[in-house]
Amino acid sequence: MRLGVLDVGSNTVHLLVVDAHPGARPLPAHSHKAALRLAELLDDQGAIGAEGIDRLVATINEALQAAEDKGAENVLPFATSAVREASNADQVLTRVRDETGVDLQVLSGEDEARLTFLAARRWFGWSAGRVLLLDIGGGSLEIAYGIDEQPDAAVSLPLGAGRLTNAWLPGDPPDPQDIRALRRHVRAEIARTVGEFTRFGKPDHVVATSKTFKQLCRIAGAARSGEGPYVPRGLSRRSLEEWVPKLGAMTAAERAGLPGVSEERAPQLLAGALVAEGAMDLFGVEELEVCPWALREGVILRRLDHLPAR
C-alpha cells in the first residue's frame, strides 16, 4: 500500500510518501517539503498569528494535493513542538480541520522520542544492543535509551535549534557572549536529565537523527546524501568541538556555503551544534552514527504494526 505521513514541524511541513506493508521496510516514493518556520511565527503571547495559520492551512492543502497526485491511500498527519506549545493550539487545530479536513495528531515530546527510537531500532536491528538516541529538531531535543523497541527512558527538552537561535543568538555573526550564555543554558538543561539515562548503563551504540546532525556530519567529512542511506555516517566529539568555534565566527551566509548546509537551515546550525556538543559531552559520547530513519518513519512503522500481515 502507498501511505503518506504529514509532519508539521517547527521548521518545515514535510510530506513523505512511501510504499509499505507489514513486515517490509517502507520504500520512499515521494517527498514534498515547505519551509514554514512555525516556531518563528509565534507572537509575544506564544500564539500562531492569523497569517501563520493561513500559511499553514495553504501548505497542508498543497501537501494533500501532492499525496493525492502520488496515489497515497491514506495520510498520517501529526504536529510537533511548534503547534504543541502554541497558546492557541486548539484554534489552530480547529481551523486546519475545518479548512483541510486534516485532524492533526499533536505528539507529546515523549511520543516523539519513542517513535524516533523505534525507527532507529528497526534500522540498526537487535545487534546494536543498548541504543542511546539523540534527535535535535527545530523546537526540541529528544533523548531516548533502551534495548528493546520501546525505550526504557525518553525525554524531550526545549532545546531545538530554531527555538534557541531565535531566543539566544540575534547577531549575525552572533556575539561571543551570547554564544557563551547559550552554551551554559544548553548544558544546564541537558545535565538535569543525564541521571535518568546513565542508571541503565553505558550504551552499546549511540545514534543521532535530524537534519542538524546530518549537516554536522557532512561538514565534518561524512559522505554526501547522494551516496545513499546505506553508507555509514559518523560524527566524533573531537571533530564537533573543532567546528563549534568556527561556526560561531561565521555569518549565516558563510555557513550556507559549507558542504551539505542549506541556506534555510544555516542560521540554526550553530545552536544545533552547541546542543549536539553538549549532549555528547555530558553523556560521555565519543562517536555517534547518524540514522537515515527518524520520526516520520517511526510513525509509519507503528501504523504498519497495527495492520494485518499480507
Condensed to tens digits (0 to 9), the pLDDT of residues 241-289 reads 999 999 999 999 999 999 999 999 999 999 999 999 999 999 999 999 9
Q: What is the mean pLDDT of the chain?
A: 94
Name residues whose C-beta falls within 8 Å of residue 54's C-beta, 6 or more positions apart in sequence: none
How confident is the model at residue 309, as a pLDDT? 59
**CA 153 to centroid of chain Cα atoms:** 18
pTM (predicted TM-score): 0.94
Q: In what order do the strands lie in the sheet with 131-136?
A: 153-157, 141-146, 131-136, 205-209, 287-290, 234-236
Q: Where are the beta strands (DSSP E) in 98-199?
A: 105-106, 131-136, 141-146, 153-157
CB 273 within 8 A of CB 261: no
CB 156 within 8 A of CB 142: yes
CB 125 within 8 A of CB 293: no
HSE-up of residue 86 (Cα within 13 Å, Cβ side): 25
Query: pLDDT tens, 178-232?
Result: 999 999 999 999 999 999 999 999 999 999 999 999 999 999 999 998 898 889 9
What is the C-alpha separation between 275 and 68, in angstroms, rounded?
Answer: 38
**CA 259 to centroid of chain Cα atoms:** 20
CA dist 180 → 174, 249, 275 (Å): 10, 13, 12
All domains of the chain, ordered by start, with CATH? 2-106 (3.30.420.40), 109-295 (3.30.420.150)
79: nearest Cα among 57, 51, 99, 98? 57
How confident is the model at residue 194, as a pLDDT? 97
- For the chain, helix (H) and strand (E) counts, in that order, are 11, 11
pLDDT range class, residue 23, cuts 50, 70, 90? confident
**CA 221 to centroid of chain Cα atoms:** 21
Q: Using DSSP bridges, classify how beta strands 12-19 and 27-35 pair: parallel, antiparallel or unpaired.
A: antiparallel
Tell me the three cell numbers of residue 255.
555557513
